[in-house]
A = this chain, B = another copy of it.
Amino acid sequence: MRLDKKHIDNHNTDQSALHNKRLRFAKDEIADADQIIEKLKAFQVAIPSWALGTGGTRFGRFPGGGEPGTIEQKLEDVGLLHALNQSSGAVSLHIPWDIPQDHQALKNLAAELGLSFDAVNSNTFQDQKDQEYSYKFGSLQNVDKQVRDQAIAHNLEVIRHGEALGSKSITVWLSDGSCFPGQINFRRAYENTLESLREIYAGLPADWKLFLEYKAFEPNFYSTTVGDWGQSYSYVNKLGEKAYTLVDLGHHLPNANIEQIVSLLLMEGKLGGFHFNDSKYGDDDLTTGSIKPYQLFLIFNELVEGMDARGMNHANDLGWMIDASHNVKDPLEDLLQSVEALMIAYAQALSVDKQALKQAQMESDVVRAQEILQHAFRTDVRALVAEARLQTGGALQPLGLFRDLQVRKQLVAERGFQQSTGL
C-alpha cells in the first residue's frame, strides 16, 4: 500500500496550531534553530530489510500480521515510513534474505518511493539450503580454505547485487569466533579472516566502502574474531582507505564508553557508520533510544563535533542505519519510534553550545561542561524535528498518523498473516 498524501496534509493541518505554538517557543529557547532544522531535513536513516518483520529470540517468536513477503513489499514498507517521517529514505538489503531478480525494476520502484539503496549486507552466519560448505565453524576465519572461498564468493556476489542497485557500500558482520577455549587458534583465525577480507576488498568498486562490524559476543560465546573496535580498527587499517569500522550500539561489553570509541574512530578517519538500537544486557536490539537516551545524545554529540572537526557532511559521509529486532511491537511502529529518537538526539546534539563547551573544557570547569550538555538534553527539541518533517512533506506526528490511518490493519488485509524473513 501507499500513503495518500492528502492524509498527511489533513493531519498536519489539524495539528498546525499546536505545532506552531511549540515551534515558536522552541525557537526562542534554542539558538540557530533554523540551521538545526535544515540539518534535520537532510538527515536520512536507512531501514534494514530484515527489520520489517517481527523478530524473535532463540526461545520463541510471536509474529504479527501483514509482514512483507517480497523485496517489493519491503520497499513499500520503507516507503510508508519515509512518507510519514521523510527521514527513512534508504533501504539496506540483506543477501540471501533478499535476492534481487530484476534490479532495474527494483531501482524504479525505489525511486518512485523516494528511496535509495544503502549498504548491502552479506550473511555467512547461517547455512543456506543447497550451500556446499557449512559455516558451523566460521566463514572467513575457517580453517578450511574451501569454506573461506565460498564465503568470499558470497560477499563478492553481494557487492554485485549492490552495484546493480546503486549501493555504495557493503557491511560485513561476521559471527566467526569460537564457543570454547581451544576451539580455534586466535592468530590463525585473525590471519585467515584478514586474508579473506583482502580478497573481498579487492573486489570492491572504486567508489565503494567496506564496513567491518565488530561484536563482543553472540552467537559465539567464548571469542569473536572481530570482537571489538580495536580488532576492527586493526583489520581496516591493513585493508586500505576504503575500509571502515561500523559501530553497532549493542555489540559491546557491559559499560563500554561507546561515545569515546566514536570520537577516536572519527579522529583516525576510520568510522564508517552505525547500526542503531538500544540494549540493557547484550545485543538486545531494542528500539533506539528506549533504554539509554542520554548515551544516544552523547554519541551524537561526538558525531557532530567530530564530523565538523573533519569537515564531513553529516548526511552523507557516514552510514546511518537502524538494526533492531521487534519482538513485542509492530515493526513499523518500532521503526518510527527509532527514527524519532535518532532525530531528537541529533537535534539535541546540534543545539549544544559548542563554544561554551570548549571553553569549559579548556578551563577544566567540569560543572559547567555538564550543565551545557544537560541543558541541551533537557530542552524539548521535538518541535524542531516535527518542523523538519513538515517542511519536507512528512507528518507532524508520524506514529499518531500511522495509527489513525490503521495502516497495519490495511497491510494485514492486503497481505494476510505471512511472516517476513530475517532474525
Q: Which residues of A contact B (CB under 8 A)?
A: 21-22, 25, 28-29, 55-60, 62, 125-127, 134-137, 143, 175, 178-188, 190-191, 216-219, 221-223, 227-231, 233-234, 252-257, 259-260, 263-264, 266-268, 279-282, 284-287, 289-294, 298, 301-302, 305-306, 309, 327-330, 333-334, 337, 341, 344, 357-358, 360-364, 366-367, 369-374, 377-380, 382, 399, 423
Sort A-B residue pairs by CB-CB distance and give the 6 closest, nearest first: A230-B230, A182-B369, A221-B284, A57-B219, A62-B136, A186-B263
Given contacts A60-B219, A219-B57, A378-B344, contact A305 B185 (CB under 8 A): yes
- Inter-chain contact A329/B367, CB cutoff 8 Å: yes
Q: A62-B136, A181-B259 are in contact. List 19 more A-B contacts (CB 8 A).
A: A59-B126, A136-B328, A179-B286, A180-B286, A180-B366, A181-B291, A183-B364, A187-B263, A216-B281, A217-B281, A217-B284, A222-B257, A222-B291, A223-B257, A234-B268, A252-B253, A255-B281, A281-B282, A328-B364
- A291 and B223 alpha carbons, distance in the complex (Å): 12
- A142 and B378 alpha carbons, distance in the complex (Å): 29
**Nearest Cβ in chain B — how far from A283, in angstroms?**
9
Cross-interface CB contact of A190 among B25, B267, B334, cutoff 8 Å: B267
Given contacts A185-B361, A187-B263, A187-B267, contact A328 B293 (CB under 8 A): no
- Inter-chain contact B228/A182, CB cutoff 8 Å: no
- Inter-chain contact A373/B181, CB cutoff 8 Å: yes
- A230 and B252 alpha carbons, distance in the complex (Å): 13
What are 30 A-B pairs with beta-carbon distances under 8 A?
Answer: A25-B25, A59-B126, A59-B175, A60-B135, A62-B127, A136-B364, A179-B284, A180-B328, A180-B329, A180-B370, A181-B301, A185-B358, A186-B263, A186-B264, A187-B309, A191-B267, A217-B280, A218-B281, A219-B327, A222-B257, A223-B260, A228-B228, A230-B233, A253-B253, A287-B370, A289-B374, A291-B294, A292-B294, A378-B382, A379-B380
**Nearest Cβ in chain B — how far from A414, in angstroms?**
21
Q: Which residues from B are CB-within-8-Å of A357?
A: 182
**Nearest Cβ in chain B — how far from A285, in angstroms?**
8
Given contacts A234-B264, A282-B281, contact A125 B181 (CB under 8 A): no
Q: Which residues from B are CB-within-8-Å of A227?
A: 257, 260
Each complex incorporates copies of this chain amounting to: 4
**Nearest Cβ in chain B — how far from A145, in angstroms?**
11
Q: Which residues from B are CB-within-8-Å of A280?
A: 217, 221-222, 255, 257
- Inter-chain contact A182/B221, CB cutoff 8 Å: no
- Inter-chain contact B367/A334, CB cutoff 8 Å: yes
- A268 and B234 alpha carbons, distance in the complex (Å): 9
Cross-interface CB contact of A366 among B22, B56, B179, B230, cutoff 8 Å: B179
- Inter-chain contact A254/B253, CB cutoff 8 Å: yes
- Inter-chain contact A60/B126, CB cutoff 8 Å: yes
Q: Which residues from B are CB-within-8-Å of A293?
A: 293-294, 374, 377
Q: Who on chain B is nearest to A25 by CB? A: B25
Q: Which residues from B are CB-within-8-Å of A281?
A: 216-218, 221, 255, 282
Q: Who on chain B is nearest to A186 by CB? A: B263
Which of A183, A259, A362 gathers most chain B CB within 10 Å?
A183
Given contacts A187-B264, A423-B59, contact A370 B257 (CB under 8 A): no
- Inter-chain contact A59/B219, CB cutoff 8 Å: yes
- A256 and B217 alpha carbons, distance in the complex (Å): 10
**Nearest Cβ in chain B — how far from A337, in angstroms?**
7
**Nearest Cβ in chain B — how far from A203, in angstroms?**
25
